Structure 1
């Protein structure tokens, strides 16, 4: 039995989305326009749109219209969740590609962020966080060697927070973060496979154990076309 017309139209619209003719986050053409384009009644068009809303390709926003649904990762900035943990909650399998791992003498800025002395060394770790072959985040982390002397390259291919809490036995309490919109330098743009004209979100953060000890300083660069930050504000 042949598919009803609304299903055929839904399939055609789906192809438009897959081919990038209908962009994520953009409003879709009017019912009148689609009715003319597909030579179908508005009732049929409405049913096709309803089908795609149910499939999660379109979304209706009350009082605004119908849009091609964005599939950005939503990050709740008020939850201290590692990237690996965050992706697994979304049933995605992350890959942590370690680009650089070395022992180094920190700059004055890094020392001040970690509250460590001039003689202390840090591990410098540069990682690319990848999901489904797409680079999402470039992360540069500094941790005191004195706190994690057994930290290794292979450890950083997994979850940093999981290692700290489960293997080292330390309890992570909170993180202090500053969000800065930037245009990337060439090295960062190349790592994230974006143009240097694409804005990124840079997060500078330091994280604290339950005894108040700062255990890491991190600079993370998030792709604005893959990530969306979520905030909840309460009126006092």
Structure 2
């Protein structure tokens, strides 16, 4: 695979190198965890300094996409799914950026009484019926996340939508509702028998739980989502800057 930096571009060299290495990571030759070319070879090929190259590589190491081992080299990390805080993305967008083809193993949508936590979020009465979406999703080889979503009853969702489309595309295209803000809670717990059976793990093994409270552009609550992830397939990173 030919990698080439545009030295006339206004894009910083380390950002160009980062973008090129992301392409390399998604190449079939590297997806299985292959070592990257040595830094000296890669920097010479790109015609940039090794410090500039390391800046790009460090970003990808921080994201969990690369693993650097002293005396061995830098290889592609093929075990975990990375996501992070900042400009939040839908699950479909996260996976598209990572070049991961997502498969729906199970998909159900039905009306049921709202859960207590969702009722508090939507500020509606207990016993109100809402649409609930349940999806088991993952790679072709195995599922790694079980999602449940409850929706504000003011959104006229039905079971007739094509839920193989990205969820937020459905809300925006079909109902003019734009998902804008997500407040999240991340925790660890032990898989109960139900979740263990869904994720193909043993009961009691650690899983990660991500709760999302999603608002539209007018700050109206639209979705309460819980994702249960296999801990061996998911990494959540947070980058913070210290105020001077």
Normalised TM-score (structure 1): 0.69
Structure 2: distance between partners of 1:224 and 1:131: 15
Contact (CA 8 Å) 1:52, 1:58: kept in 2 or not? no
User: Which of 148, 155, 160 is the matching residue for 2:162?
Assistant: 155
Cα shift at 1:123: 0.8
Aligned to 2:236: 229
Cα shift at 1:61: 4.5
Residue 80 of structure 1 aligns to a residue whose secondary structure is: coil
Cα shift at 1:79: 3.0
Residue 156 of structure 1 aligns to a residue whose secondary structure is: coil
| Alignment coverage as a number of residue pairs | 185
Cα shift at 1:198: 2.2
1:75 equivalent in alignment to 2:58: no
1:1-12 matches, within 5 Å, as: none
User: Which of 222, 225, 228 is the matching residue for 1:218?
Assistant: 225
Cα shift at 1:166: 2.3
Cα shift at 1:53: 3.1
Larger radius of gyration: 1
Gaps of 5+ in 1: 1-17, 19-23, 25-50
Cα shift at 1:216: 0.7
Gaps of 5+ in 2: 1-31, 39-64
1:102-121 matches, within 5 Å, as: 102-118=110-126, 120-121=128-129
Normalised TM-score (structure 2): 0.67
Aligned to 1:191: 198
Structure 2: distance between partners of 1:159 and 1:125: 13
Q: CA RMSD in A?
A: 2.7
Structure 2: distance between partners of 1:199 and 1:69: 24
- Relative to structure 1, the CA distance from residue 199 to residue 68 in structure 2 (aligned partners, 3 Å threshold; closer, same or farther) is farther
Residue 163 of structure 2 aligns to a residue whose secondary structure is: helix
